[in-house]
């Protein structure tokens, strides 16, 4: 009995919107993978490294319900005679040429490849009828040769006929084998999940300079969890393919939510202000150490941000317990407040800011001023009013400490007014 071979392999199939059919086997690009409803084939559950394939041989006529099988024959035009000789299919086009077909039942997806090994007394056409009719030339050949076709996006559907078309020519075409190499969409879905998870491992939540909100991260993580569930709960290539496309759509939507980097629109040209640091004029910074070693768990650093071709260094503060800045001495004898522009999406309700002066050990060195940031991912201005009656050393500061809160903050234009 003649056999069709089914090859399951870990190949990433792209969402290519090819239209029309062509004769040569074409390479397909990658994306995230598939399975066809109606196909009862169970792919190899384990990823198969290329180029080694694991395959099972399936009956052409099929005694079992799950077989991919050739059915009967169909007369299209001046019907040829179909017969089996030496375990091969012989198509005899007789005295008037003509055409006919074997019927088949297999759902093909983009990237699946069908091969027909044959020899022929005449030039003919092989026609694969699925989502559309796809023709491949079969040249006259005394020796066995192979014609192949890789299905495109527009061709997807139930492959229900393999046609043999001779036109006016007469003669025999002998088919030695028909092989369908079907992409294992489950392995593709696994690869897609791994790709998305790898991308998510680099995502920063709550950044003002081009990252993501926690809500959006939760949505894509839920999509990944659903795709993982589909690996075991789904059973055919079409379902895995649809799961892959759903994950791709969710990931594309997630990427589109990325916060676009911005600079604060004001705060760098305030009259009479003394600037401790501004990215507009970083060379004149009064910060001598942005991350002094005070035994804290928090960190603070400059982060390069580019907006519409302009690059500046904003300050990013990752506040865990407390964090300080060491300054050149800043005169605040005439100032009434400490100000800066900030951006965060994850601030705690209240943070204490401590203006500090270490030059007079006999006087109080620091005192807290409560500040409640707005955590909406937009730039805002913080105004910290000095309580000079609470510190005898309130004419100057040489340190600033953030404490008693948590969160990631971007800030700029640190100044006293």
Q: What is the distance between the alpha carbons of residues 204 and 407, in angstroms, rounded to a whole number?
A: 12
Residue where one domain finishes, among candidates 221, 256, 291: 256
Strands 81-85 and 3-9: unpaired
* Backbone conformation region of residue 254, classed left if phi is above 0, alpha if psi is from -120 to 50, else beta: alpha
280 and 316 in a single domain? The answer is yes
Q: Is residue 264 part of a domain?
A: no
Please state the rounded mean pLDDT for residues 30-53.
33
317 and 332 in a single domain? The answer is yes
pLDDT tens sequence across 232-289? 898 777 788 889 999 999 999 999 998 888 999 889 999 999 999 999 999 999 999 9
Whether the per-residue pLDDT at 350 is higher than 80: the answer is yes
Cα 47-41-118 angle, rounded to 5 deg: 95
Q: Which CATH number belongs to the domain containing residue 16 in this structure? A: 2.60.120.430
Please state the rounded mean pLDDT for residues 152-169.
88
Give the per-residue pLDDT at 411.
Answer: 96
Please state the rounded mean pLDDT for residues 24-50.
33
Q: Is residue 178 part of a domain?
A: yes
Give the per-residue pLDDT at 206.
Answer: 66
207 and 243 in a single domain? The answer is yes
Number of domains in the chain: 3
64 and 20 in a single domain? The answer is yes
Give the per-residue pLDDT at 124.
Answer: 94
Give the chain's length.
417
Q: Is residue 213 part of a domain?
A: yes
Q: Is residue 145 part of a domain?
A: yes
Give the per-residue pLDDT at 258.
Answer: 86
Question: Which of these, 229, 223, 232, lies nearest to 195 by C-alpha position?
Answer: 223
Residue where one domain finishes, among candidates 183, 211, 234: 183
119 and 144 in a single domain? The answer is yes
Q: Is residue 261 part of a domain?
A: no
93 and 154 in a single domain? The answer is yes
Q: What percent of the chain has pLDDT over 90?
A: 46
Tell me which of 30-39, 165-174, 365-374 is least confident.
30-39
Whether the per-residue pLDDT at 147 is higher than 90: the answer is yes
Q: Is residue 73 part of a domain?
A: yes
290 and 394 in a single domain? The answer is yes
**pLDDT band at 168; cut points 50, 70, 90:** confident
**pLDDT band at 45; cut points 50, 70, 90:** very low
Q: Is residue 168 part of a domain?
A: yes
The H or E element that residue 162 is part of is: strand 157-167
409 and 305 in a single domain? The answer is yes
**pLDDT band at 391; cut points 50, 70, 90:** low
224 and 279 in a single domain? The answer is no
Range of the domain at 216: 186-256
Q: Is residue 17 part of a domain?
A: yes
Please state the rounded mean pLDDT for residues 3-22.
32
13 and 130 in a single domain? The answer is yes
pTM as predicted? 0.50
Q: Which CATH number belongs to the domain containing residue 212 in this structure? A: 1.20.1270.90
Tell me which of 120-129, 221-230, 328-337, 383-392 is least confident.
383-392
3-state secondary structure the chain: CCEEEEEEECCCCCCCCCCCCCCCCCCCCCCCCCCCCCCCCCCCCCCCCCCCCEEEEEECCCCCCCCCCEEEEEEEECCCEEEEECCEEEEECCCCCEEEEEEEEEEECCCCEEEEEEEECCCEEEEEECCCEEEEEECCEEEEEEEEEECCHHHCEEEEEEEEEEECCCCEEEEEEEEEEEECHHHHHHHHHHHHHHHHCCCCECCCCCCECHHHHHHHHHHHHHHHHHHHHCCCHHHHHHHHHHHHHHHHHHHHCCCCCCCCCCCCCCCCCEEEECHHHHHHCCEEECCCCCCCCCEEEEEEEEECCEEEEEEEEEECCEEEEEEEEEECCCCCEEEEEEECCCCCCCEEEEEECCCCCCCCCECCEEECCCCCCCCEEEEEECCHHHCCCCCEEEEEEEECCCEEEEEEEEEEC
179 and 191 in a single domain? The answer is no
Q: Which CATH number belongs to the domain containing residue 382 in this structure? A: 2.60.120.260
CB atoms within 10 A of CB 334: 10
Structure tokens at 263: 């600079």
Residue where one domain finishes, among candidates 256, 284, 304: 256
Phi and psi at residue 37, in whole multiples of 5°?
-65, 145
Reported as half-sphere exposure (CB side, CA atoms, 13 A), residue 277 has a value of 25
18 and 105 in a single domain? The answer is yes
Question: Which of these, 256, 189, 184, lies nearest to 220 by C-alpha position?
Answer: 256
Please, what is the average pLDDT of the chain? 79
């Amino acid at each position: 009995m003649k056999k069709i071979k089914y090859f399951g392999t870990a190949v990433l199939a792209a969402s290519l919107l090819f239209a029309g059919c062509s004769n040569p086997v074409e390479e397909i690009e990658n994306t995230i993978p598939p399975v066809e409803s109606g196909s009862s084939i169970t792919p190899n559950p384990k990823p198969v490294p290329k180029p080694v394939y694991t395959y099972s041989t399936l009956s052409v006529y099929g005694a079992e319900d799950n077989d991919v099988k050739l059915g009967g024959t169909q007369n299209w035009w001046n019907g040829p005679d179909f017969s089996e000789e030496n375990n091969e299919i012989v198509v005899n086009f007789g005295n008037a040429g003509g055409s006919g077909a074997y019927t088949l039942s297999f759902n093909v997806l983009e990237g699946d490849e069908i091969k027909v090994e044959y020899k022929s007394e005449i030039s003919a056409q092989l026609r694969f009828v699925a989502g559309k009719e796809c023709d491949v030339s079969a040249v006259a050949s005394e020796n066995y040769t192979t014609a192949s076709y890789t299905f495109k996006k527009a061709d997807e559907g139930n492959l229900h006929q393999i046609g043999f078309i001779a036109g006016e020519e007469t003669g025999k075409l002998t088919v030695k084998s028909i092989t369908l190499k079907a992409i294992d969409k489950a392995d593709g879905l696994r690869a897609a999940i791994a790709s998305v998870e790898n991308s998510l491992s680099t995502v920063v939540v709550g950044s003002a300079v081009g990252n993501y909100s926690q809500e959006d991260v939760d949505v894509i993580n839920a999509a990944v969890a659903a795709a993982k569930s589909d690996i075991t709960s789904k059973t055919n290539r079409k379902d895995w393919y649809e799961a892959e496309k759903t994950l791709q759509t969710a990931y594309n939507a997630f990427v589109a939510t990325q916060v676009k980097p911005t600079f604060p629109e004001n705060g760098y040209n305030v009259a009479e202000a003394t600037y401790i640091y501004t990215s507009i004029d970083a060379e004149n910074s009064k910060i001598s150490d942005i991350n002094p070693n005070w035994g804290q768990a928090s960190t603070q650093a400059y982060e390069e941000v580019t907006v519409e071709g302009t690059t500046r260094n904003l300050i990013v503060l990752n506040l865990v317990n407390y964090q300080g800045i060491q300054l050149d001495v800043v005169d605040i004898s005439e100032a009434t407040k400490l100000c800066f522009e900030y951006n965060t999406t994850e601030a705690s309700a209240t943070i204490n800011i401590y203006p500090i002066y270490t030059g007079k050990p006999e006087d109080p060195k620091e005192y807290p001023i409560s500040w409640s940031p707005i955590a909406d991912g937009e730039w805002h201005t913080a105004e910290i009013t000095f309580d000079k009656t609470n510190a005898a050393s309130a004419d100057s500061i040489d340190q600033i400490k953030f404490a008693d809160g948590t969160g990631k903050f971007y800030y700029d234009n640190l100044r006293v007014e």
